[in-house]
Amino acid sequence: MLGIRDAFLAVWSALRIFWEELFTFVVCNLLLIALCIPVVTAPAAIVALYYVCDLAARDKAISIRDYFDGFRQYFLRGTALVLLDVLAGLLLFANIWFYGQFGATWAALVRAIWIGVTLFWALLQVYLVPMFVVQVEPNILTAWKNAAFMVLAGPFFCIIIGIVNLTVIVLSLILMVPAMTFGFSLTALISCVALNNRLDALGIRKRPADENPHR
């Protein structure tokens, strides 16, 4: 189906970039885990990881310093983005649970609608933070809107990327060592490469002439 081949090509491209910058991504993964221990810094730590991954996805040289630059740059707005996203997810799941308490047909219908909305919210996670950091002016509402547009513009592509990321995270958490060393960095990089792939494919942003489109 349309977009599936491109999705796997994007994953392969992400794996190549990840291997080339393995040390930096491992250190960033460890920094993410360390900064998530004090919960107050966890949202900014997540956005900072995507900031580094977006640079790598756009063929920019990256370093550990970029992680701290992203952490400082997105501390307030990035924290707000992640907290609002988590709140939205909690509200969606609360609605599913609430309407599941009723046996009436109308309640089952409403619950099915909320399940559909929740699945769409889950797909948004592929693009939301990458879209936030790729914007010239970070804006939470614009990131939500643009992420939704990207999902609708290529649903099969997004679903494949989402499944790959979910598989990496689940396996990483089960095995623990990947989660501690590279799992989160890899999924963030896959999402950033996927977003940049779609932006280029849709002609929303043209690559500079000196960038290699086949990396």
Kindly state the average pLDDT of the residues 143-157. Answer: 95
How does the average pLDDT of the chain come out, rounded?
91
Three-state SS at 56: helix
Look at residue 65 in the predicted model and tell me its pLDDT.
96
* Token pair for 42: 């966890």
- The Cα 147–Cα 161 span in angstroms is 14
Contact 180, 29 (CB under 8 A): yes
Encode pLDDT of 101-126 as tens digits: 988 899 999 999 999 999 999 999 99
Our CA dihedral for 189, 191, 197, 199, rounded to 10 degrees, sits at -120
* Token pair for 209: 């002439």
Look at residue 214 in the predicted model and tell me its pLDDT.
34
* Cα Rg of the chain (Å, integer): 18
Over 70: is that where the pLDDT of 1 sits? no
Look at residue 85 in the predicted model and tell me its pLDDT.
97
- The Cα 165–Cα 167 span in angstroms is 5
- Residue 49: closest CA among 33, 67, 61: 67
Cα distances from 174 to residues 15, 42, 141, 183, in angstroms, run 21, 21, 34, 11
pLDDT bin (cut points 50, 70, 90) of residue 28 is: very high
Encode pLDDT of 181-215 as tens digits: 999 999 999 999 999 999 988 887 644 444 443 33
Kindly state the average pLDDT of the residues 80-93. Answer: 97
- The Cα 159–Cα 10 span in angstroms is 13
- The Cα 102–Cα 88 span in angstroms is 22
- Residue 58: closest CA among 134, 127, 7, 6: 134
Kindly state the average pLDDT of the residues 68-81. Answer: 96
Look at residue 40 in the predicted model and tell me its pLDDT.
95
